[in-house]
Amino acid sequence: MQVFYDKDSFSKYIDLQKEQNNMIGFAPTMGALHAGHISLYEEANKDNDIVISSIFVNPTQFNNAEDLEKYPRTVENDIEKLQNSKLVDAVYIPKVEDIYPNGMERKHYNFGGIENEMEGAARPGHFDGVGTVVEELFRQVRPDNAYFGEKDFQQLKIIEKLVDILNLGIKIHGVKIHREKNGLAMSSRNMRLSEAEKESSSVIYQTLKKVDDWFRVVTIPEIKSRVEEIFDRDDMVLEYFLIANEDTLKEADFFSEDENYRAFIVVNVDQVRLIDNMHLK
């Protein structure tokens, strides 16, 4: 596995892959890698000649400076995990100036309104930051296929829209949520939880499974009420729970038989923000 720390040497590597007509699969990360990230590269290996990872903690998608500062950075361990996986041909670890040569400014995108729902409402400008870094990485990596986890489902829809509005010609693949044995969705932020907090946080997944059982049996307002009761507790704070249309991401007050829905939840555990979601059958 080759490791690139600057844009120029990485660009020469990509030029060579393109000259050899190699199909490129790509999954960008912010590091602190776990089995969920590795599952992206397992998927990428099915469809591509070359698989590329990137590690870059993107400052412009953080609204909270403290959250950015506390975000785990474990680059040497990340490189070792990628090497041991034997799934990745190259990893790109750019400097800030490689991604933001003209200063750290977000571009502004019109994602058709999905950027204003859920995480967009809670974190203004977040998806402009996501779009800015992903567009730049796409232009540097020039992948044929790109892979993103469904844990960040809204981000996945944003990136699909980004590729569409910029006509980038990249196929976007959503990869199922990878979970701990207790059901907790794998996340780099889980590193900030104690073992006891990880165990108690399994209630998030258990709640989503209950929501799936309740869906189409009781009303959506009643489901929301039941979820709020579950999280009426001292050790975690429910930031939001909602059921939304999977395509528009608009919150639903009632369901229609011919539409697809997904439950979204955000819970804070000792100031660690945990997100999860589930397709509702």
* C-beta of residue 153 within 8 angstroms of C-beta of residue 147: no
Tokens of 129: 């930051």
Q: Quick one: pLDDT at residue 251?
A: 97
Q: Quick one: pLDDT at residue 73?
A: 84
- Indicate the pLDDT class of residue 178, thresholds 50, 70 and 90: very high
Q: Is 37 a known active-site residue?
A: yes
Catalytic residue among 34, 37, 108, 279: 37
Q: Is 65 exposed, middle or buried (0-12, 13-18, 19+ CB in 10 A)?
A: exposed
- Indicate the pLDDT class of residue 4, thresholds 50, 70 and 90: very high
Q: What is the DSSP string of the chain?
A: -EEE-SHHHHHHHHHHHHHTT--EEEEEE-S---HHHHHHHHHHHHH-SEEEEEE---GGG-S-HHHHHHS---HHHHHHHHHHHT--SEEE---HHHH-TT-S-------TTGGGSTHHHHSTTHHHHHHHHHHHHHHHH--SEEEEEGGGHHHHHHHHHHHHHHT---EEEEEPPPB-TTSPBP-GGGGGS-HHHHHHTHHHHHHHHHHHHHBTTB-HHHHHHHHHHHT-SSS-EEEEEEEEETTT-PBPSS--TTS-EEEEEEEEETTEEEEEEEEE-
pLDDT digits (tens, 9 = 90+) for 85-104: 999 999 999 999 999 998 88
Q: Quick one: pLDDT at residue 104?
A: 86
pLDDT digits (tens, 9 = 90+) for 58-81: 888 886 667 777 677 889 999 999
pLDDT beyond 90 at 124:
no
Percent of residues, the chain, with pLDDT higher than 90: 87
Query: Which range among 13-17, 119-123, 151-155 shows the weakest confidence by mean pLDDT?
Result: 119-123
> How far is the first Cα of the chain from the last one, in angstroms, to the nearest whole number?
41
Instruction: Say how far residue 90 (Cα) sits from the centre of its chain.
Output: 21
Compute the mean pLDDT over every residue in the chain, rounded to the nearest whole number: 95
Question: Which pTM value belongs to this model?
Answer: 0.93
Q: What is the mean pLDDT of residues 14-19?
A: 98
Going by C-beta distance under 8 Å and a sequence separation of 6 or more, which residues neighbour residue 216?
255
